[in-house]
Amino acid sequence: MRRVPAVVLFAIGALTCVGLDLAYDGLVSWDRGSKFWLHILVVCAINVLGATSLNVVNGMAGQFSIGHAGFVGIGAYLGGAIVSNLALALKIPVAALKDNLSLGQSFLLLPVALVVVGLVCAAIGFVVGLPSLRLRGDYLAIVTLGFSEIVRLTVLGISADSATNPLTRAIASLGGSLGYRGPKVGEDYLGVPSVAGPFWTVGIAALAVFLALRLKRSGFGRALRAVREDEIAAAAVGVDPAKYKVTAFVLAAAGAGVAGALLAVQRDGPGIVGPANMKFDKSFEVITMVILGGSGSVSGAAIGAVLYTVIFYASEEALHQLAQAVPAFGSVDAAALRMTLFATALIVVMLVRTQGLFGERELFEKKADDGTPKPPSPSSDDATGTAKEALAS
């Protein structure tokens, strides 16, 4: 097996990401139009991270979570709050914070923010994962949905005038239905700074895919699949299902949190974190990416995420063009149209090809029973297969 030392791999990856990051600014100043494409790249990367992390729980561990957006949302609020407050504490001028920050400045803010977000979300993932010890299937799914809805409704439900203690005041400072726009500077809100360019987004997404692949191929990943297939049999050979399931939740939550933080502080970002980030629709989007690509397949989920993002923007653009030609299309709800499209796609996938595009296989990976000795008692299919191969060679 060919092996590239991990250090070399990382160095190449890091340099590529730095290059991408610098190219982003260069391209944008050279041609404003390229901003659109670079923005898609950044969103793609964030979605890959979200899908890769959900895949650990839904695909590898077989615990169906439909509350991923809850973790993404917590990560977004927390990441936005840390980055904006830290930026003020480091005395980065307010005027600079209104614009994209440089790669150098991002190193002051993001490492701290991402580590804190990852750890906090991992801890919450641990708590949300605990019910998986008692509940299965749709019951567990409901608990995860309940979790994300509780988080969202709490942010929405506590307003500044009903806040009485430090905790509710902190939640109220997240802006309720208006969204979080950073701390107040003078009369105005600062806005959540735009910090994370391709270096961070693409870099972390690539790292996550790499780690997820390694996880899947490790003994841990094998045991996780065993737990998914049959908990009782797994426990009978010494694999503690509780430990593996909860670990899967922790890893997925940390990944989702980081994805959320990057979403909040992405370059040319919205400057605002809204509670809509935690709506069930968002969880459904990530589920769509994972299932279209193939639950359990790391590259499948990543490709699902890229496909989803591309279709997202392509449909948006197509509708925009269409509306210019036929004014009647101007009133069409693009989000609803998209959801119609993806929901239909998922239903069809479930009916026609339940395992998604890749099944559990990875890109460039052969089928499990290809190229290996066949059982000694081959079925007639195998026999004709070998005969054909013999003829062909």
Partner 1 sequence: MSDDLLVLDHVEKRFGGLKAVSDVGFRVPRGSIFGLIGPNGAGKTTVFNLITGVYRADVGTIRLRSAAEGGREQELVGKAPSAIAAAGVARTFQNIRLFASMTVIENVLVAGELHRRAGLIGEVWRTKHAREDEHAVRARARKLLASMGLADVEEAPATSLPYGSQRRLEIARALMLEPKLLLLDEPAAGLNYGEAESLKAQIRALRDEYALTVVLVEHNMQVVMGVCERIHVLDHGITIAEGTPSEVRANPKVIAAYLGEEPTSEGEGEAGGESETAARPEAKAP
Partner 2 sequence: MIAWLLNALAQGAMIALVALGYTMVYGVLRLINFAHSEVLMMSAYASVIAQTRLFAGFGRAGMVLSTLVAIVVAVALGVTIEMVAYRPLRARAKGASARVAPLVTAISVSVLLQSVAQLAFTATPRNLDRALAPPMWSVIVIAALVMVGLHALVNLTWIGKAMRAVAVNAEAARLMGIHPSRVIVFTFAVGSGLAAIGAVLYAGTQAPIEPTMGTAIGNLAFVAAVVGGIGSVQGAMLGGVLIGLLGEIVKRTSFSGMKDAIVFALLVVVLLVKPAGLLGQARAEKV
Residues of this chain that interact with partner 1 (CB under 8 A) are 6, 211, 214-215, 218-220, 222-223, 225-226, 229-230, 232-242, 247, 360, 368-369, 372-377, 379, 381-382
Q: Are 22 and 198 in contact (CB under 8 A)?
A: no
Q: CB 128 → partner 1: shortest distance, Å?
A: 19
Extract the tokens encoding 123.
């801890």
Question: Measured at the alpha carbon of residue 178, what is the angle toward residues 176 and 179, in degrees to the nearest 5?
Answer: 75
Binding at 10: pick from partner 2, partner 1, none (beta carbon under 5-8 Å per type):
none
Phi and psi at residue 212, in whole multiples of 5°? -65, -40
Q: Which residues contact 259 (CB under 8 A, 6 or more apart)?
A: 46, 47, 49, 50, 53, 72, 75
- Return the C-alpha torsion angle 249, 255, 259, 265, nearest 10: 120
Q: Which residues contact 356 (CB under 8 A, 6 or more apart)?
A: 290, 291, 292, 293, 294, 295, 297, 300, 304, 349
The CA distance from 272 to 257, in Å, is 16
Nearer CB in complex with partner 1: 137/330: 137
Nearer CB in complex with partner 1: 198/241: 241
Q: Are 171 and 154 in contact (CB under 8 A)?
A: yes
Nearer CB in complex with partner 2: 80/131: 131
Under the binding rule (CB under 8 A), the answer on residue 108 touching partner 2 is no
Under the binding rule (CB under 8 A), the answer on residue 320 touching partner 2 is no
Which residues is 185 bridged to in the sheet?
Answer: 188
Binding at 267: pick from partner 2, partner 1, none (beta carbon under 5-8 Å per type):
none
Q: CB 10 → partner 1: shortest distance, Å?
A: 12
Nearer CB in complex with partner 2: 24/64: 64
| Number of residues binding to partner 2, judged by CB under 8 A | 52
Binding at 234: pick from partner 2, partner 1, none (beta carbon under 5-8 Å per type):
partner 1
Under the binding rule (CB under 8 A), the answer on residue 323 touching partner 2 is no
Nearer CB in complex with partner 1: 165/377: 377
Question: Measured at the alpha carbon of residue 285, what is the angle toward residues 279 and 290, in degrees to the nearest 5?
Answer: 135
The CA distance from 89 to 95, in Å, is 15
Q: CB 217 → partner 1: shortest distance, Å?
A: 9
Considering only the stretches 21-29, 145-153, 260-268, 375-383, report the one whose residues sit in contact with partner 2 under the rule CB under 8 A.
145-153
Q: Are 224 and 305 in contact (CB under 8 A)?
A: no
Contacting positions for partner 2 (CB under 8 A): 58, 62, 64, 66, 131, 134-139, 141-143, 146-147, 149-150, 153-154, 156-159, 162, 228-229, 232, 280-281, 284, 287, 291, 295, 331-333, 335-340, 342-344, 346-347, 350-351, 354-355
